[in-house]
Amino acid sequence: MVDSRLSQRILLFSLCFIFSFIIIIFVIKRSSLIENTKNNIDSIISSTSCKHISIDELDQWFHSKTWNEIPKIIHQTWKNKTLRQRQARWRQTWCEQYTGWYYHLWTDDENDLFVQTKFPWFYSTYKQLSPAILRVDSVRYLYMLYYGGLYIDLDYESIRRVDELFNNKYVVLSLINYSFQSMNSVPNSWIASRPNHPLWTYILYRIMLLWSRVTDQERNEFWNGKAEFFTGPQSLFEGLMFYLHSNQHTDQTLDQLFGNRENQKSDSIFEVANITFLGPKLINAYDWMNGIGADVCSAEKPTFDENKCKDIVKPIYAITYWSHSYGHGHENDAKYLGNKRIR
């Protein structure tokens, strides 16, 4: 009788053990299946496109890490979420190629809240800046200072990924040409940076200082070159030189800092005081200052032809068509940069 009860207990214990083991195996396999499915979905997403994220998602991702590199986030900005047709198509070339990157299109309203909450010391200047392009210029420096990453104007088309050039870099700028006397040769239309680099602070304080000195009439009137001088490439250039001279303890020009002029080729890369400069053909390709290919490379021309333009200037990583969407009377032209203009 005792042996029979003992046998029953042993059998019951064995069945319970086997049943528990089966349940554990089932749970493990199910969890693994869920995780693999999630990873496969993530892999599919990351292998086909960048990931569009909200500002809250951007903040959560950004603050979850300590940054010793250029963050993989692409910033672009427009007055709202509705891009013109060609802007949307050019934007897509970046998203399709920069898989594994995050992307956010900033609107005017989002920019205002971003500056107000993250940079209250700059906000009063920001609100006064006029026309709108001055605010659009300024906020890109603030993206770089706060988040870092890659800022790109909406008239750039990606040819192939450039992030291989970002390894161990601090700030990466792209040149139009080597005519540095013009102060427009280092555009602010394509810039990359680690967060909190001091270069951007030099530029922002320059904007604040110059804007505080102009008269009310000058602030409200339009003159050719106003945007370039106050917040655009000339502002970037002067802030850059002030930073380089302070860092290098020198008064040398950018030409001199680059060294021998024979090294200044269209695909050259220069390093000065942790600032990387990419030669004209690497990122910009089309140089509006020298006029080569202007009839087919300028998005403002009725003869604009992207394919012919690329045949002429042969871009390596990217190309800009200098559409001047915020200037030259195009702001309120809903048909500008529409697909019907493509040849």
pLDDT per residue as tens digits for the range 236-292: 999 999 999 999 999 999 989 998 888 899 999 999 999 999 999 999 999 988 878
End-to-end CA distance of the chain: give it in Å, rounded.
97
Please give the distance of CA 273 from its chain centroid, rounded to a whole number: 22
Q: What is the pLDDT of residue 20?
A: 56
Are the CB atoms for 313 and 319 separated by under 8 Å? yes
Which CATH number fits the domain that encloses residue 58?
A: 3.90.550
Q: What is the pLDDT of residue 49?
A: 84
Q: What is the pLDDT of residue 181?
A: 87
Burial of 157 (0-12, 13-18, 19+ CB in 10 A): buried
Looking at the fold, whether 170 and 155 belong to one and the same domain comes out as yes
d(CA 253, CA 241): 8
Looking at the fold, whether 305 and 186 belong to one and the same domain comes out as yes
Q: Which of 207, 61, 205, 81 is nearest to 147 (CA)?
A: 61
d(CA 24, CA 28): 6
d(CA 174, CA 284): 7
Give every CB contact of residue 309 below 8 A, 6+ residues apart in sequence.
286, 293, 296, 297, 319, 321
Q: What is the pLDDT of residue 220?
A: 80
Are the CB atoms for 276 and 165 separated by under 8 Å? yes
Looking at the fold, whether 43 and 60 belong to one and the same domain comes out as no
Could you give the number of structural domains in the chain? Answer: 2
Looking at the fold, whether 30 and 59 belong to one and the same domain comes out as no
Looking at the fold, whether 161 and 230 belong to one and the same domain comes out as yes
Looking at the fold, whether 4 and 111 belong to one and the same domain comes out as no
Q: Strand, helix or coil at 285?
A: coil
Looking at the fold, whether 40 and 93 belong to one and the same domain comes out as no
Looking at the fold, whether 56 and 188 belong to one and the same domain comes out as yes
Q: What is the pLDDT of residue 339?
A: 60
Looking at the fold, whether 200 and 69 belong to one and the same domain comes out as yes
Burial of 123 (0-12, 13-18, 19+ CB in 10 A): middle
Looking at the fold, whether 133 and 251 belong to one and the same domain comes out as yes
What residues in the chain have per-residue pLDDT under 70?
Answer: 1-47, 324-337, 339-343
Are the CB atoms for 112 and 79 separated by under 8 Å? no
Q: Strand, helix or coil at 260?
A: coil
Q: Strand, helix or coil at 302?
A: coil
Strand stretches in the chain, DSSP E = 51-52, 73-77, 102-106, 149-152, 156-158, 171-174, 190-193, 269-272, 275-278, 318-320
Looking at the fold, whether 66 and 153 belong to one and the same domain comes out as yes
User: Beta strand 275-278 with 318-320: parallel, antiparallel or unpaired?
Assistant: unpaired
Are the CB atoms for 151 and 191 separated by under 8 Å? yes
Range of the domain at 7: 1-48
Question: What single DSSP character describes residue 166?
Answer: G
| Chosen domain end from 48, 70, 87 | 48
Looking at the fold, whether 17 and 93 belong to one and the same domain comes out as no
Indicate the pTM of the whole model: 0.83
- How many residues in the chain? 343
